[in-house]
Amino acid sequence: MEKMFLVTFTFFFSNFAQSICLNVSRPNIVMVMSDAFDGRLSFDPGSKVVQLPYINYLRQLGSTFLNSYTNSPICCPSRAAMWSGQFVHLTQSWNNYKCLEANATTWMDLLEENGYLTKMMGKLDFTSGSHSVSNRVEAWTRDVPFLLTQEGRPVSQLVGNMSTIKVMKKDWQNTDQASQWIRHRAAFSNQPFALYLGLNLPHPYKTESLGPTAGGSTFRSSPYWLSKVSHELVSVPKWLPMAAMHPVDYYSTLTKNCSGDFTEEEIKSIRAFYYAMCAEADAMLGEVISALRESKLLSNTVVIFTADHGELAMEHRQFYKMSMFEGSSHVPLLVMGPGLMSDLQVNQPVSLVDLYPTVLEIADISALSHLSGYSLLPLISKSRGISKKQHPGWVLSEYHGCNVNASTYMLRSGQWKYIVYSDGISLPPQLFDLSLDKDELHNVVHKFPDVQSRLESLLRSIVDYPQVSSTVHLYNKKAFGKWRWGLGKNYSHVIAGLRWHVDWQKDVLAHEKAIETWLNGTL
């Protein structure tokens, strides 16, 4: 009996001690992911245009990735890539409606299975079935040969006064709840914890005058946040003439309602308000950092700040995202924590799928074999005993949703950004040398055929993009047809009420005929 008790006690104590050891050695993990945050604002010279004290805090005490990209420049597919660690074409997260299935295994699931106390708050937005009918239909009908005007014209809107701090009240509510969870739950746990906070800011607000199905085209802020912007540094982007635009960029400009005239004052106002919204998002990051510091948890917590995509803010005669230009595809990525280097800037291109294996390695959990990304710890850790799987030095982004009339694929490698469309034949490719052309105004694909050939071969070794484009095309037709016939007699009424061309009501029969022809496969 004594022997059995001794064995039982030894087994219990051994496991308890191992658990305590793991909990002490494994750091906490906090990720704050904003929406539509231009990554170039997280380092100079972009950071000079607006005061972002907490991003600067992470930059000084942690590592900043200077070339971090979304794997798809739109909300749901981007977040699906981050949560699954897989490229969009592997999960078939084609648009804001079609993303991950509810039972997909996220890195947060694995943390919980391996002893972490976990909490997810705010904007998640990575499973199928969300967003409006309008968003779904616009994505499905991008091959139909008539123009869809999705958004209202971008505008800026001033609210409140110098005492108005909480403009995006829902985000502040979620931030307050996250801070309280840190103070009152995580601080008293004997487990390591992982917290995710998703913000809506600085995503533009819905334009209420366009009705409940309208998209976000209002850049809204208060005098308080505008005071954080260095207005003399707010630039007016250079635009190509409409006739010189790539056909896909031309289509996007039209569908985003940006083809009309804009004054210099309008453009600078939209950009200044966007930067002010970034400052408000930065303050929410600060609330989380303060809660960690006050709870004496910061020294053993890895803090990650990133975003699902960027915001063009009138660059390339567009706002919003849905583009492979830097304003849309370049996201912030800053990482601070125990054992990680301080005041480090990493030039190597990385992307959001890299966060999955990075988080697992931070938590000392074996990575899954099917992941598209690579752990970033070899690039930022003080320790040399880190994963042997080195990052390949290129990143892939792809887009298959609305406001763009062809599936798009971007490969970033070294100084080059290579963009192809659809089957790679029907639309011309683009090649930008970002070391010389930061504004991405000069397509040099014909000037450097050897570079194009090398990048084309690399891209096709990563993804059979003509086949993926064909798969998306078939999905669009089947999904739209299923939705249409499911509406029955209500179809004409529902589709006429969506955000279509201004002549839709007058031309409803012509548009229905065009869709019918498309569904029957003759387009």
The verdict on residue 129 lying in a domain is: yes
Cis peptide before 202 (omega within 30 of 0): yes
Question: Distance between CA 281 and CA 522 in Å, rounded?
Answer: 48
Residue tagged active-site, from 21, 75, 76, 278: 75
Question: Distance between CA 113 and CA 107 in Å, rounded?
Answer: 10
The verdict on residue 419 lying in a domain is: no
CB 332 within 8 Å of CB 33: no
What CATH number does residue 106 fall under? 3.40.720.10
The verdict on residue 146 lying in a domain is: yes
CB 458 within 8 Å of CB 394: yes
CB 399 within 8 Å of CB 324: yes
Beta carbons within 10 angstroms of residue 161's beta carbon: 9
Closest CA to 501 of 150, 131, 152: 150
Question: Distance between CA 324 and CA 329 in Å, rounded?
Answer: 5
The verdict on residue 188 lying in a domain is: yes
pLDDT tens, residue order, the chain (523 aa): 444 433 333 333 333 333 333 344 799 999 999 999 999 999 999 999 999 999 999 999 999 999 999 999 999 999 999 999 999 999 999 999 999 998 899 999 999 999 999 999 999 989 888 777 767 777 777 777 666 666 789 999 999 999 999 999 999 999 999 999 999 999 999 999 999 999 999 999 988 776 655 678 999 999 999 999 999 999 999 999 999 999 999 999 998 999 999 999 999 999 999 999 999 999 999 999 999 999 999 999 999 999 999 999 999 999 999 999 999 999 999 999 999 999 999 999 999 999 999 999 999 998 888 999 999 999 999 986 666 678 999 999 999 998 899 999 999 999 999 999 999 999 999 999 999 999 999 999 999 999 999 999 999 999 999 999 999 999 998 888 888 888 888 877 777 666 554 444 556 666 677 777 777 765 4
Catalytic status, residue 258: no
Task: Give the pLDDT of residue 145.
Answer: 65
Question: Distance between CA 389 and CA 371 in Å, rounded?
Answer: 12
Q: Where are the strands (E) in 35-188, listed by range?
A: 63-65, 68-69, 117-122, 155-158
The verdict on residue 353 lying in a domain is: yes
The verdict on residue 451 lying in a domain is: no
Task: Give the pLDDT of residue 149.
Answer: 61
- 11: which residues sit within 8 A by CB, 6+ positions away? none
Q: What is the DSSP string of 198-232?
A: E--TTSPEE-GGG-TT--EEEEEE-HHHHTTB-GG
Is residue 406 classed as helix, strand or coil in its secondary structure?
coil
State both tokens at 470. Answer: 């064909």
Q: How many domains does the chain have?
A: 1
Q: What is the DSSP string of 36-81?
A: S--GGGGSTTGGGGB--HHHHHHHHHSEEETTEE-SSSSHHHHHHH
Question: Is the C-alpha dihedral spanning 56, 58, 62, 63 positive or negative?
Answer: negative
Question: Distance between CA 331 and CA 343 in Å, rounded?
Answer: 19
Closest CA to 391 of 410, 408, 412: 412
Task: Give the pLDDT of residue 334.
Answer: 98
Task: Give the pLDDT of residue 387.
Answer: 65
Letter string b/e over residues 394-409, b meaning 16 or more CB atoms within 10 A of that residue's CB: bbbbbbbbbbbbbbbb
Task: Give the pLDDT of residue 75.
Answer: 94
The verdict on residue 266 lying in a domain is: yes
The verdict on residue 205 lying in a domain is: yes
Residue 89: its H or E element = helix 88-91
Q: Which residues constitute the domain of residue 378?
A: 29-382
